[in-house]
């Protein structure tokens, strides 16, 4: 697999993403023909099925793709930056922090618009990550993968409790739960217009820093020896993960394990160079999220299975598999 040219891998990733996108538009509680999918995308014709695609499924699946891509790239960055194979925005407190901040914004700023919600998620993600790495560094021996994950579990539990407490205290439990439960119901074009540029900016910045990330993933000494300003690069990469994780929570709520699974699977095809891992993670994460959302809408149609449950059902065994292999999945 590693001998296949990178351009061909990228092309295959693009084709699989398009196929998953068309499949997601077509399948659901009401199956829609491929002709209507085509007409919805490329013509001005309209009927009931085409309206369903344009008003409901199209914004939902575009959101699914970009959230999956954002979480996968954020997970890859965190794994390279911390040299921790168990790193994931959901496991290391970023999404829990964003959830808590989102609940606080809804409680203390009742008239908050969506931009305020997004900013709150960024701040919360930064606080969550800061708490995890701060607590994980307290004891002698520095940050180890297991210590960081344990700190992430503890901080995430605390921050989810804070979210619940705010919801109960301000009688907002239903609204907070509906937003942070992890799903794509209700994603609309206005949200996408604000979130997608942020995700794309984060992705582009990560690609610009991908070579530096590869050096950091080896060791700080190697990066410094090659003239890298490690503090500035780490700060920029940390900012990228905050942008990607915060934007994802602002759109779909809590979503764990995507950032853990996808980079490990991509390494099987791409090796250990982050110039290849990050763009392939973009397509793989987006494709995975599209397929997961399609499964959530079809396995118990016309009822919808929680998307977060679908992802967790796949992610938890993968997490245990990586732990069993001592952090080596497919790398």
Token pair recorded at residue 150: 């344990």
pLDDT at 331: 54
pLDDT at 66: 94
Average pLDDT over residues 234-238: 86
C-alpha distances in Å from residue 58, one per residue of 38, 41, 108, 261, 311 = 12, 9, 33, 26, 21
28-78 pLDDT, tens digit per residue, is: 777 778 888 888 888 877 888 788 888 888 999 999 999 999 999 999 998
Residue owning tokens 């309206």: 51
Q: Please report which confidence band the pLDDT of residue 139 belongs to, taking 50, 70 and 90 as the band edges.
A: low
C-alpha distances in Å from residue 153, one per residue of 91, 123, 156 = 6, 19, 5
| 268/30 Cα distance (integer angstroms) | 37
302 preceded by a cis bond (ω within 30 of 0): yes
Average pLDDT over residues 217-228: 78
Average pLDDT over residues 274-292: 94
pLDDT at 312 over 70: yes
Reduce the DSSP state of residue 293 to 3 states and report it: helix
Token pair recorded at residue 281: 């993670």
Average pLDDT of the chain, as a whole number: 84
Percent of the chain surpassing pLDDT 70: 93
pLDDT at 99: 84
CA 305 to chain centre: 19
pLDDT at 262 over 60: yes
Please tell me the pTM assigned to this model: 0.89
pLDDT at 85 over 70: yes
Residue owning tokens 């997004």: 118
Q: Please report which confidence band the pLDDT of residue 146 belongs to, taking 50, 70 and 90 as the band edges.
A: low
């Amino acid at each position: 697999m590693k001998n296949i040219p990178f351009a061909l891998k990228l092309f295959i990733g693009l084709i699989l993403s398009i196929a998953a996108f068309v499949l997601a538009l077509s399948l659901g509680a009401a199956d829609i023909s491929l002709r209507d999918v085509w007409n919805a995308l490329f013509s001005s014709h309209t009927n009931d099925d085409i309206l369903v695609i344009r008003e409901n499924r199209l914004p939902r699946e575009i959101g699914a793709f970009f959230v999956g891509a954002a979480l996968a790239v954020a997970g890859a960055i965190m794994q390279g930056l911390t040299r921790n194979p168990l790193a994931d925005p959901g496991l290391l407190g970023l999404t829990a922090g964003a959830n808590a901040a989102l609940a606080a914004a809804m409680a203390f700023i009742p008239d908050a618009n969506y931009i305020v919600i997004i900013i709150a998620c960024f701040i919360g993600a930064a606080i969550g990550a800061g708490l995890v790495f701060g607590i994980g560094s307290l004891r002698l021996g520095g940050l180890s993968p297991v210590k960081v994950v344990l700190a992430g579990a503890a901080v995430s539990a605390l921050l989810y409790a804070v979210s619940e407490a705010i919801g109960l205290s301000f009688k907002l439990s239903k609204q907070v739960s509906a937003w942070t439960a992890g799903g794509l119901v209700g994603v609309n074009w206005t949200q996408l217009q604000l979130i997608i540029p942020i995700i794309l900016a984060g992705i582009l910045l990560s690609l610009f820093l991908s070579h530096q990330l590869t050096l950091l993933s080896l060791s700080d000494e190697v990066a410094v020896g090659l003239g890298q300003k490690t503090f500035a690069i780490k700060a920029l990469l940390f900012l990228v993960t905050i942008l990607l994780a915060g934007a994802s929570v602002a759109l779909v709520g809590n979503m764990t394990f995507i950032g853990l699974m996808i980079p490990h699977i991509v390494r099987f095809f791409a090796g250990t160079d982050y110039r290849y891992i990050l763009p392939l993670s973009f397509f793989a994460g987006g494709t995975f999220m599209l397929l997961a959302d399609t499964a959530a809408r079809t396995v118990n149609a016309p009822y919808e299975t929680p998307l977060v449950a679908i992802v967790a059902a796949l992610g938890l065994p993968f997490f245990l598999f990586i732990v069993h292999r001592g952090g080596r999945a497919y790398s």
